[in-house]
């Protein structure tokens, strides 16, 4: 009646799709951060009066160059982490595949 304990291999096999999903989520976040940084740069270059009339606001959303640089840094961190997760997923998948072949 008791469930047998799952082996480490089975636990890793269950967690692999989650690792890949985290890589995709971080990839989306990195692209969104990069897009926001580019849009913030472009908005800075436009004429403030034109932007104020388009946005119907008195004050514009303005970022200093250092704040825009922070968005590029966050993009880089997210991109590196997503790459790490994808590489780790590939490595673990390959190791699990070899272990199952060796057991057979």
Q: Measuring CA to CA, which residue among 101, 93, 70, 82 is closest to residue 17?
A: 93
Q: What is the pLDDT of residues 9-64, one digit of tens each?
A: 788 888 899 999 999 999 999 999 999 888 877 776 654 555 555 555 545 566 67
| Banded model confidence at residue 67, pLDDT cuts 50, 70, 90 | confident
Q: What is the pLDDT of residue 53?
A: 55
The residue behind tokens 């590029």 is: 72
| Banded model confidence at residue 97, pLDDT cuts 50, 70, 90 | confident
Residues 11, 7: Cα–Cα separation, whole Å: 6
| Banded model confidence at residue 1, pLDDT cuts 50, 70, 90 | very low
């Amino acid at each position: 009646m008791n469930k047998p304990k799952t082996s480490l291999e089975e636990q890793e096999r269950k967690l692999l799709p989650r690792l890949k999903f985290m890589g995709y989520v971080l990839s989306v976040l990195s692209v969104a951060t990069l897009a926001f940084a580019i849009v913030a740069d472009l908005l800075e270059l436009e004429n403030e009066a034109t932007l104020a009339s388009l946005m119907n606001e008195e004050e514009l959303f303005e970022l200093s160059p250092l704040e825009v640089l922070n968005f590029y840094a966050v993009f880089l961190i997210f991109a590196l982490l997503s790459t790490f997760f994808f590489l780790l997923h590939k490595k673990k998948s390959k190791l699990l595949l070899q272990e199952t072949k060796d057991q057979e």
